[in-house]
Structure 1
Amino acid sequence: MASIRKRQKGWQAQIRRKNHPSISKTFRFKTDALHWGRQQEARIERGEQAAHGIRYSEMRLSDLLERYGQEVTPKKLSAYKEIYRIGRLLRHSISEIFLSNLRAHHFAQFRDERLEQAGSQTVRHDINLFSHVLKTAKIDWGIPISNPVQEIRKPPISKPRDRRLKPHEEELLLEGCKGSSVSYLRPIIIIALETAMRRGEILAIRWDDINESQRTLRIPVTKNGHPRVIPLSSKALTTLLGTPRGISERVYEVSPNAFRLAWERLRKRVGIKDLHFHDLRHEAISRFFELGLSIPEVALISGHRDPRMLFRYTHLRAEDVAEKIHSMQSTGKID
């Protein structure tokens, strides 16, 4: 049966059937949406091809966003993030504009409004998603539409974060985990600082990925699409093997959103401001360099294929370099 939901300017009927493309259409009146839904379902039952079936003159940007979210987004590694982003874009008034009326100034206005609410990098992600949706609609779905997003200026790229842990913050975080009701928080923080793994990579660790004898961990699914095997420190290996083993093949059976909420509660509980979980990756990579690891060695662990990108994550402290120089001078390694 077609699902009917209220939209800003009408009622949308949506039909999802196995082995059939999802179809939807928006109407001014609920009765029209119900009638169209019954018609399309009858066509499917008779073995006819249901219209993906909206005439171009009736298509809104929301129709493209919804189809993209159903057909393209689920194939992506970070699908859960994009699903959330699409949902937010669908709630914006720009999604209700007919494709035939869509112009660059609509996206420029969207950009300026969003910049008052979010950072430039977030807004760039929104704009890039719009652009890819329109490009997919034209190339893959045969919809005769231009891409006005290409005509607007994107916000400047944000300055890379250089946030590192202050001397007491690691201890604060780990101690704060004792007051948490979730057992996975402390080991995941330790793994992040010991391996420079991303949150999604850590949450996807499977028991079979751990090679205890070789002290390595295989990461089969990564952000850049290239699997890698990383060395494990004694602390990292002990932490992984010390995790109670359940029936799941994953070491940490927790969703990305549940972990995000647990991290935010921890950060607020211990009073640490402006610290993202991803900053632990920055911290770990910087520590690798401070230990004396070479660029190829650090790249092997972090997964960066371009050394220039690696430098963005490397935030050495001047006082630490000064101490290293002093130590080398005092031992006669340099004059």
Structure 2
Amino acid sequence: MASIQKRSGSYRARIKRVGQPTLSQTFNTRIEALEWAKETQAKLRLGLFEPPQVPSLKNFKEAALCYRDNHTIYKKIARSETYRLQILIERWGQLPIEQINKSAVLTLRDDLLRLGRAGATVNHYFNTISKLFQMLNDEWELNIPNPIKSIKRMPPSPGRTKRVYEQVERELIASCEKLGFGLLRSIIEFAIATGMRRGEMMGLHWGDIDLVNRRAYLHITKNGEPRKVPLSQRAMAVLETVQAMGTNAVFPMSMNVLRNQFEKSRAHAEAAWLSAGDNPFKGLRFHDLRHEALSRLSDAGLNVIELSHISGHKTVAMLSRYTHPSHEAILKKIDN
């Protein structure tokens, strides 16, 4: 019997067989998964199916590469999970897969914490390892214990409370101008005006923009659900600026260039900051712009339902980690 499971933006087709190993394959779309399932079931009925050969996994590296090529590449988090797999290969590459036990994972956890990695980062490594062993057991019938099952996940780290106040925003934009990063300036302004994630903005095409009704359609989001983001007058002004470029992409810039230019602008602004107190550009991340956008919308009086409609958060708990109302805004509401 075939089943289709949605997993982090990808689709896994599974065919269970009585007394035989389960067959499975991961695809980018549900249609591809259904087609594979139908074709494979037809071959099984006609006796034409040739079972895949179980790889000879001599060490952890071979298992990790097998998982990467059959599962990771279909995920939205392919880039970050591939990076984690590479770190794990450097650590355990030549070890027999059976030696990756609870003790080895706990040592990995302690080493990551000593390096200053957050609890959430450690949990991402745990999830990658667990999925890898799940593949070995479910798909390749290797019957190897999953070392993550008896290990508790790390508690979530406190959410970031960094604000990008108007003066900080002006200085950051000034740095973009001085460095000749005009498109980056537009991206930063649009991020603060909309609260979109970096990947959501960089994936926008003009066909996703409804200029008449002032909204942007996000077809691919982190939680897998599309949403419509209202466009403020400031966001519309940014779009008017970049529309003159005449490109299909709203913001024609690669992610690598975006990262490099933002870091250069941040470093320039940090060096130029002369005010007393903590330097607001130290440790500033692009994702902090999303926090700032939602915090400003909260200061403007939007309620939780309205904020979640814009941000795409499904729970109030997660939304609260992103929204940090200013003290002045709270006082104003109390006084009113």
Same fold (TM over 0.5): yes
Q: Where does residue 317 of structure 2 map in the other structure?
A: 308
Q: Where does residue 233 of structure 1 map in the other structure?
A: 232
1:149 offset after TM fit, Å? 1.6
Q: Where does residue 207 of structure 1 map in the other structure?
A: 206
Root-mean-square deviation (Å): 2.1
Q: Where does residue 99 of structure 1 map in the other structure?
A: 97
1:229 offset after TM fit, Å? 0.9
Whether the aligned pair in 2 keeps the contact of 1:245 and 1:251 (CA below 8 Å) is no
Q: TM-score, normalised by structure 2?
A: 0.77
Deviations 1:237-258 (A, max 9, x none): 1212321556753222222232
Distance change >3 Å, CA 50–CA 121, structure 1 → 2: closer
1:300 offset after TM fit, Å? 1.2
1:67 offset after TM fit, Å? 1.3
Matched, 1:242 2:241: yes
Q: Where does residue 258 of structure 1 map in the other structure?
A: 257
**Distance in 1 separating the partners of 2:297 and 2:94:** 50
Q: TM-score, normalised by structure 1?
A: 0.77
**Distance in 1 separating the partners of 2:198 and 2:68:** 23
- The number of equivalent residue pairs is 277
Q: Where does residue 124 of structure 2 map in the other structure?
A: 125
Specify the structure having the higher radius of gyration (Cα).
1
1:203 offset after TM fit, Å? 0.5
Q: Where does residue 330 of structure 2 map in the other structure?
A: 321
Q: Where does residue 172 of structure 1 map in the other structure?
A: 171
1:284 offset after TM fit, Å? 0.9
Whether the aligned pair in 1 keeps the contact of 2:299 and 2:326 (CA below 8 Å) is no
Whether the aligned pair in 2 keeps the contact of 1:207 and 1:249 (CA below 8 Å) is yes
Distance change >3 Å, CA 247–CA 143, structure 1 → 2: farther
Q: Where does residue 72 of structure 1 map in the other structure?
A: 71
Q: Where does residue 16 of structure 1 map in the other structure?
A: none
Is the partner of 2:242 in helix, strand or coil?
coil
Q: Where does residue 141 of structure 2 map in the other structure?
A: 142
Long gaps (5+) in structure 1: 1-20, 22-47, 329-335
1:319 offset after TM fit, Å? 3.1
1:60 offset after TM fit, Å? 1.6
Q: Deviating runs (4+, > 4 A) in structure 1?
A: 48-52, 244-248
Deviations 1:98-144 (A, max 9, x none): 12233210111111111111222212211211111111221123332
Q: Where does residue 53 of structure 1 map in the other structure?
A: 55
Deviations 1:127-180 (A, max 9, x none): 211111111221123332110122223333211111112442011111111023
| Structure 1 stretch displaced more, 185-194 or 131-140 | 131-140
Amino acid in the other structure paired with 1:53: P
Q: Where does residue 267 of structure 1 map in the other structure?
A: 266
**Distance in 1 separating the partners of 2:236 and 2:305:** 22
Identity of aligned pairs, percent?
32
**Distance in 1 separating the partners of 2:90 and 2:244:** 42
Matched, 1:290 2:289: no
Whether the aligned pair in 1 keeps the contact of 2:63 and 2:97 (CA below 8 Å) is no
Deviations 1:177-231 (A, max 9, x none): 1023443211111111011000000110111001111111100000001101111
